[in-house]
Chain A
Amino acid sequence: MIDDLPLVLGAFWLTIRLTLASALAALVLGTVLAAMRVSPLAVLRGAAAGYVTVLRNTPLTLVIVFCGLGLGLVLDVSFSGSLSVNYLWLSIIGLSAYTAAFVCEAIRAGINTVPVGQAEAARALGLTFGQNLRYIVLPQAFRAVIAPLGSVLIALTKNTTVAAAIGVAEASLTMKTLFERHQEAVVPIFFGFALGFLVLTLPVGLVFGRLARRLAVAR
């Protein structure tokens, strides 16, 4: 089983890359969606609200299957001549599209924690909606959502396993391969992979918790 160690490490490295790439894309898209949801234009509010409702209520497995098969088949989305790289990117699209809806909701909740007086004072100074959001509200909102965003990141780390649905050989699919190869060692293999995920997720919780306390807005 020691022979399989490179395979396991490679799988977790893939899980980490999936997580980081999707986290970055979801953060950007989620912030844009949150800004749309509080914007003065009804059409943007409606579009963002519709997006969030659809993605939040669809199972991630279905989102991934749709991205893996639908985007390539219908929209001709293709990233690489290598099939494994191509499906990796398609699963990143699915994961970030799904996670962005939750990032958006977290940031919107954060915006609601900023006292009304802040935004009103900014308006009194003559700041526009964009300036108000950029200089006054979002900086405070982001500090308030550090802990929830940490939870989103943890959930995302665990959710990367769903990429197995379209054959991305991340940690969970590799665990299944090892189960088939070493049927006598299912229990140790399981606890090994569980430990791997604990190592990935527990520090995120601790770091984000500490960060949230350090950066909390004094009120």
Chain B
Amino acid sequence: MNVLYDEPGPRGRRRNTVLTVVFAVALLGLAYLAFRKFDEKGQFAAALWEPFLRGDVWANLILPGLWNTLSAAAVAALIAVPFGFVFGMARLSEHAWIRIPAAAVVEFFRAIPLLIMIFFAQYGGSAVLGLTVTSFSAVVFGLVMYNGSVLAEIVRAGITALPRGQTEAALAVGLRKSQAMRLILLPQAVTAMMPAIVSQLVVLLKDTALGFIVAFEDLLNAGARILPSNFRNLIPAVIVMAAIYIVINLAVSAVAHWLERRTRRSAAKPVAAPDAVAAL
């Protein structure tokens, strides 16, 4: 990306060196100021960080939260992916009575905030159906409806992106429409969509943290409620939890990149998520 500036000459290089030093000092200064503030408030006290070196703290307080986070994400993903395929294909249906309701569902759940769906599941379940909705189910419901709808758009984009000739050729050799979809279009589209789907699953994993607001016993809950109740170390605990989330998400993103590279080698062109910032 160095089309924006020339290869620096001797003077330019000197200027760059000076600027590098200036900015490095400025950034380090900022970091030092933050460090000083943390230190002043005693946030580096060993007693606050020591719990993270203990095996039993991890085994009994942190990992159960992580397990809940991962299982909520896994269950939601397992339902959201089929949901996405069903609604994505339904939006491509020739029958208006399938296409329009499917479009309405997908657009509705993409347009409203995940958190109000989770609240609705929690209160609506008991008020309307007389069911007790656990915080786990409420979180999974919200994640499925939102991410399923986004996945439906990815599926639709993946199928529409295939050359028209594929459908035409399939119909020409006598396949029925459903056969063409199942045997010709879907297999190609799935390969192309894989990176976008995995990226969306990172979003899903990140969004499980909303469960904290409805008292779901997830990783963030371990960091912001359970650990501070034991050790009075809210800030360090939140920082450590952030690190765990970042490592997990980077690992899943790495899988997405790897899939993308594999896809690029094959014939199909990868499909981007419906908007470039889907990960938000």
Contacts and interface: CB of A to CB of B under 8 A. Distances in A.
A165 B213 contact: yes
Contacts of A40: 2, 4-5, 8, 16
B235 A43 contact: no
| Size range of the chain B interface in the assembly | 35 or more
B209 interface: yes
A185 B189 CA distance: 43
Given A54-B246, A69-B234, A183-B123, A190 B23 contact: no
A4 interface: no
A13 B6 CA distance: 49
Contacts, number: 176
B276 interface: yes
A143 to B, nearest CB: 15
B27 A43 contact: yes
Interface stretch (B89-97, B106-114, B167-175, B257-265): B106-114
Contacts of B212: 61, 65, 165
6 contacts: A66-B235, A74-B37, A151-B276, A152-B277, A161-B115, A175-B119
Interface of B: 1-6, 8, 16, 19-20, 23-24, 27, 34, 37-38, 41, 43, 108, 111-116, 119-120, 123-124, 127-128, 202, 206-210, 212-213, 220, 223-224, 234-235, 238-239, 241-242, 245-246, 249-250, 253, 275-280
Interface of A: 38, 40-44, 47, 53-54, 56-62, 65-66, 69-70, 73-76, 99, 102, 105-106, 109, 112, 116, 119-120, 123, 128-129, 132-133, 137, 147-148, 151-152, 154-156, 158-159, 161-162, 164-165, 171-172, 175-176, 179-180, 183-184, 186-187, 190, 193-194, 197-198, 201-202
